[in-house]
Amino acid sequence: MHKGVLMSAVPRPGGLTRRQMNGLLVAALAGTLAACGPSITEESPGETATGGERLKAPTGDPSGEIVIWDRSGDLFKVFEAAIAMFNAKYPNVTVRHEAVDIDAKLQNTLITGTDVPDGVFLDDAKVGGFADYLWDLKDLLQPYTQDIAAQKVAVNSLDGGIYGVPFDLDPGLLFYNEKALAAAGIDPESIETYDDLLAAARTYQEFRPGSGPIHLEQSAFLGQLQLEMYANQLGTSLAGPDGKLRLDSPEYRQILTWLDTVSKEKLGTRAEYLTPGDVGALESGDQVFYPWAIWFSFAPQQQLPKTSGDWRAMPLPAWEAGGARSGAMGGSSFVLPKAGQNSGLAWLFYEFLMFDEAGYSAVWGPSEVYPQGLNTSIPSYRPAADPAKPLFEPVEALGDQDLWATATEAGAQIPAGAPIPAWWAGAVDYLGNDVQRMLDGDLSPEQVVKQAAQNIQKNLVDRS
């Protein structure tokens, strides 16, 4: 996929910059690092490493300066505002917070070992590719691991180590136009499985001939990301815990067959996420079902003025009755480079943001940046994601729905995942593109599985 195509396909005003499309949208724009890390000959001030790799927190009265890299945008401002609260707990730690084009700068910085930051905001999809340059945080995270969403622990894990401090959890939800469904006589509560969703789409199409009720993603990258959300529901993913490809499976065949059915029966609107054609179909009532990550909530808040207030969110349908009603779609974490000068102090900063009530309340709670709170993700730390203790307020653009309760309950159903392989973004050239060819009518689900699996194995897995 060409860079210009991807960026033109993804509008990024307002809320979308808070995580650059959940952090993962830029994963297709940069290569991953070769599997060779810098030589660590001495330990940085204030920290020690056990086994030469694992970071240990500083002891005594922590003091010093840390350099923290984040992407520019509204989420940068949220983290910036939280520094004052961090300093109330650690007054002798100075935080130098820098807005950086991480995807353009991090790789060369780690390779050269020059001006390496102490902490970096990084896409989950890239953690595995950078792992040789990062501290193993398994010992530091041990007090919290059992209370972190299993999927987030898994995507940050590699060869027995954990290389990222989990940030957000992005549960998949079914967004739907409640007003339009009511006019068609469709009760959203009747949609419990993906077969039920097909039935509801057929009913809606009878009510509104020519409509394409279900969103069919036309971007190869986002289509693959959504495919992994569906796969996560079924407890699988492109690569297993052992790194082996597992695309050739009944689960992927089931998902692809469902997508093929939506396409062949013309039950979907084929469009790239929130491009003008997509927005037009959403505003007109032609497209009324959107199975997507929680960050779609940005759309009715800022992109859909005509139908804002008509949209609602519910758990995803299950693939089988009684199955998981959500899957993860994207995510980001914080990593600590081994060549940073004060990575131990940076750990204290991230520990505060993610596991201290004052910290995670500052991130997701009401602020000057988000007066109602940050409502396009939820914390991956379960004590922070308590359905009974909302950090953000009901969303007016969703009819004042308590999105916090819906999202946290869905998030609790997300099955554990596996580490994201360094070749994941490269697989878009094969799987992502082949899914689009299937939706064009050029390939069958079986052909997608066989062809993409062969190409990914040969060109990516065997060469990694």
Predicted confidence (pLDDT) per residue in 247-260, tens digit: 999 999 999 999 99
Scan for tokens 């959504």, then name that residue.
Answer: 226
Kindly report, residue by residue over 73-109, the tens digit of the pLDDT.
999 999 999 999 999 999 999 999 999 999 999 999 9
Query: Terminal CA-to-CA distance of the chain, rounded, Å?
Result: 20
Asked if 429 and 1 touch (Cβ cutoff 8 Å), the reply is yes
Q: Indicate the pTM of the whole model.
A: 0.87
pLDDT band, residue 314 (cuts 50/70/90): very high
Instruction: Give pLDDT, residue 419.
Output: 87
Is residue 52 very low, low, confident or very high in pLDDT (cuts 50, 70, 90)?
Answer: very low
At 342, is the secondary structure helix, strand, or coil?
coil
Numbers of helices and strands, H then E, in the chain? 17, 16
What is the per-residue pLDDT for 125? 86
CA distances 217 to 16, 21, 28, 279, 455, Å, are 17, 15, 16, 13, 22
Taking a C-beta distance cutoff of 8 angstroms, is the pair 104, 120 a contact?
no
3 state SS of 328: strand
- Specify the CATH number of the domain 172-327+421-461: 3.40.190.10
Nearest to 283 by CA among 309, 255, 322: 309
Indicate whether 33 pLDDT > 50: no
Domain ranges (residues) in the chain: 21-170+330-393, 172-327+421-461
3 state DSSP class of 160:
coil
Residue identified by tokens 């309760």 is: 405
8 A C-beta contact, residue 148 and residue 328: no
Q: Is domain 21-170+330-393 annotated with CATH 3.40.190.10?
A: yes
pLDDT tens-place string over residues 142-168: 999 999 999 999 999 988 999 999 999
Query: Is residue 326 within 8 Å of 410, Cβ to Cβ?
Result: yes
- In this predicted structure, the answer to whether residue 444 has a pLDDT above a threshold of 60 is yes
Quick one: which of 445, 462, 30, 1 has its CA closest to 247? Answer: 445
Q: Which pLDDT score, from 0 to 100, does residue 229 have?
A: 97
pLDDT at residue 32 is higher than 80: no
Q: Would you state the pLDDT for residue 42?
A: 29
Tokens of 107: 């790789």
pLDDT band, very low/low/confident/very high, at 19 (cuts 50, 70, 90) = very low
- Give SS3 for 157: strand
305 strand-pairing partners: none
Instruction: Please answer whether residues 27 and 424 qualify as being in contact, where contact means their C-beta atoms are separated by less than 8 angstroms.
Output: yes
Cβ contacts of 400 within 8 Å, gap of 6 or more: 394
Closest CA relative to residue 258, chosen from 445, 2, 57, 403? 445
Q: Which of 413, 379, 419 is nearest to 148 (CA)?
A: 379
Share of the chain above pLDDT 90, in %: 84
Percent of the chain scoring above 70 in pLDDT:
89
In the predicted model, is pLDDT for residue 45 greater than 80? no
pLDDT band at 7 (very low <50, low <70, confident <90, very high): very low
Quick: pLDDT tens for 207-263: 999 999 999 999 999 999 999 999 999 999 999 998 899 999 999 999 999 999 999
Can you give the pLDDT at residue 22?
38
Sequential DSSP letters for 96-124: EEEE--HHHHHHHHHHHTSS--SEEEEEH
Any idea what DSSP says for residue 56?
E
Q: Same CATH topology for 21-170+330-393 and 172-327+421-461?
A: yes
pLDDT per position as a tens digit, 385-423: 999 999 999 999 999 999 999 999 999 999 998 888 889
